[in-house]
Amino acid sequence: MPATDRDGPVADPEAQRRHPLLFKAVTRRRHPRLRRTDITVTDEAAVKRAVKAASLGNAMEWFDFGIYAYLAVTLGHVFFPSGNDTVQLLSSFATFAVAFLVRPLGGMVFGPMGDRLGRKKVLALTMILMAVGTFAIGLIPSYASIGFWAPVLLVLFRMLQGFSTGGEYGGASTFIAEYAPDRRRGYFGSFLEFGTLAGYVAAAGLVTALTGWLGSDTMEAWGWRVPFLVAGPLGLVGLYLRLRLDETPAFQKLESDSARASDAADAVETSTKGDLAKIFRQQWPTLILCIALVGAYNITDYMLLSYMPTYLSDELGYSETHGLLILLLVMVLLMLIITQVGRLSDRFGRKPVLMAGMLGFLVLSLPAFLLIGQGGVPAITAGMLMLGLSLVCLLGTMSAALPALFPTDVRYGSLSVGYNLSASLFGGTTPLVITALIGATGSNLMPAYYAMGAALVGVIAVACMKETARQPLEGSPPSVETPEEAAELVMSQAPEPKF
């Protein structure tokens, strides 16, 4: 059986030597030189609008998840029977994790739909569902009022949140990656995670302000509802911004080269099953790599940005406000440098920056938690900054690195499936697993060991991935910022004149 590569059968070397001109012609036909019309020249104003709309949606997603994490202790008291505080906290974190169990289902539905019908339409739909789910949580009566139905309704709306989120990150990162010029994809992609930090900061700031103003008793009585109800107006703003956008240039090009995606709208269910089969059959090695990268990234992300305030209050005895204020300071500092990390990944490559973050968690997690355990604002702040500076290397780079793993025709679907499978298994379960490990071992250093294990997997995954910085996305034409850059790219392919 003849050998093959991605372009088809590989010719016999002897035949290539006998017929060099014929094989040169075949190669040119398979890989034609770029023409000026093949190259996408980006509109900077359109790129900025796309980044703003995608980042706001991401900020809203993490605002929603952040307020639940930061109010975990309060929500445990509100929605679950009184008794053992640890059992209430575990129940609250279990409900937090429930949203992640349905995220892969959302990814499997919305991802292929985004590849078939377009990125913009699906991102608008996920925004609506997320806002509805969060707003509804703010309206649920307490356990004291309706008993068993309170946690049931909480789980139901958490599942709606998780289902919608399944199409959010893959779509938003794909949207920005396909709009951005190749040489600045890391910089523009970093704004997506700037939105992540902004959502967490807004959530932490609002919860801290309300707790300080109302006090713990009033927060438990009704104050906890306010952050959830804010999601309604935020969702409408995000929806308005997303509906004003055009489709990405890469998807428009893909659509013009094949059957129009809207022609298949009546067969979405059947087509989605076919698309999923294609993703798992053709992309499984890259899916495994994506799951490993996202798993390491999510465990460290949720440990620091979601779980840390609960760790400081429940395990080390600090007030809830105390931990949130320190985390707020750390997150604001990360926001100030995250876009510069994106620039670094454009200049030096995705792999070096990601490797720095993974090695940072591997080496610094234990010293950081030992510092945090010493107590006192300076020690806790220093320990959290050590973790934060490692995390920002991942935050500022992942949103450009992950979409580049997959070709354009299956990018939204593949990334949504891989990202959400990993987030379901490793991300949302992080607070629950760490709390259970501390309870089982009695060691307050379990978060450090858990992060170090995740980072080791991340180091191996980064070593296995290809470098994609400053290169076109697979399956898409090159994307540049100016007509002059496009002309330069075409000229660089011209053969050297022979005299």
pLDDT for position 260: 45
Q: Write out pLDDT tens, residues 442-477.
A: 888 999 999 999 999 999 999 999 999 989 888 777
User: Cβ atoms within 10 A of the Cβ of 37, count?
Assistant: 9
pLDDT for position 268: 43
Q: Can you name the residues that pair with 479 across neighbouring β-strands?
A: 40
* 32 membership: H or E segment, kind and range: none
User: Cβ atoms within 10 A of the Cβ of 475, count?
Assistant: 14
pLDDT for position 13: 67
pLDDT > 70? residue 30? no
Residue entry with tokens 């796309």 = 50
User: Cβ atoms within 10 A of the Cβ of 222, count?
Assistant: 11
Q: Write out pLDDT tens, residues 197-216.
A: 898 888 888 888 888 888 87
Give the integer Cα–Cα distance in Å for 367 and 412. 38
Give the integer Cα–Cα distance in Å for 191 and 184. 12
Give the integer Cα–Cα distance in Å for 220 and 126. 30
- Max Cα-Cα span within the chain: 90
Tokens describing residue 253: 């090009």
Give the integer Cα–Cα distance in Å for 350 and 345. 5
pLDDT > 80? residue 273? no
C-beta of residue 99 within 8 angstroms of C-beta of residue 137: no
Phi then psi for 9, rounded to 5 degrees?
-60, 145
pTM of the full structure: 0.80
Residues 52-79 have a mean pLDDT of 80
Instruction: Label the pairing between strands 4-5 and 40-41.
Output: unpaired
Residues 325-337 have a mean pLDDT of 89
Give the integer Cα–Cα distance in Å for 312 and 256. 54
Q: Can you name the residues that pair with 480 across neighbouring β-strands?
A: 41
Residue 42 has, within 13 A of its CA and on its CB side, a CA count of: 26
Q: Write out pLDDT tens, residues 205-259.
A: 888 888 888 887 888 888 889 988 987 888 888 788 777 777 777 777 766 665 4
pLDDT > 90? residue 481? no
End-to-end CA distance of the chain: 43
Give the integer Cα–Cα distance in Å for 48 and 81. 48
pLDDT for position 272: 59
Give the integer Cα–Cα distance in Å for 466 and 293. 13
pLDDT > 80? residue 410? yes
Task: Choose the weakest-confidence range: 235-249, 282-296, 378-392.
Answer: 235-249
The DSSP symbol for 436 reads: H
pLDDT > 80? residue 437? yes
Select from 386, 296, 59, 63 the least CA-distant residue to 191.
59
Q: Write out pLDDT tens, residues 140-194.
A: 998 888 887 888 888 888 888 888 888 888 888 988 888 889 899 999 999 999 9
263 vs 470, residue with greater confidence = 470
179 vs 96, residue with greater confidence = 179
Residue entry with tokens 């007030």 = 319
pLDDT for position 408: 83
Inter-CA distances, 312 with 298, 303, 329, Å? 20, 12, 15
Tokens describing residue 203: 């959530």
Select from 411, 472, 123, 431 the least CA-distant residue to 300.
431
DSSP string, 177-239: HHHS-GGGHHHHHHHHHHHHHHHHHHHHHHHHHHHHHHHHHHIIIIITHHHHHHHHHHHHHHH
C-beta of residue 77 within 8 angstroms of C-beta of residue 216: no
Residues 420-449 have a mean pLDDT of 87
Residue 376: pLDDT band (50, 70, 90) is confident
Q: Can you name the residues that pair with 41 across neighbouring β-strands?
A: 480
Sign of CA dihedral 185, 107, 94, 149: positive
Q: Can you name the residues that pair with 8 across neighbouring β-strands?
A: 5
Task: Choose the weakest-confidence range: 2-16, 214-228, 258-272, 312-326.
Answer: 258-272
Helix and strand element counts for the chain (H, E): 23, 4
Give the integer Cα–Cα distance in Å for 14 and 423. 50
The DSSP symbol for 460 reads: H
The DSSP symbol for 82 reads: S
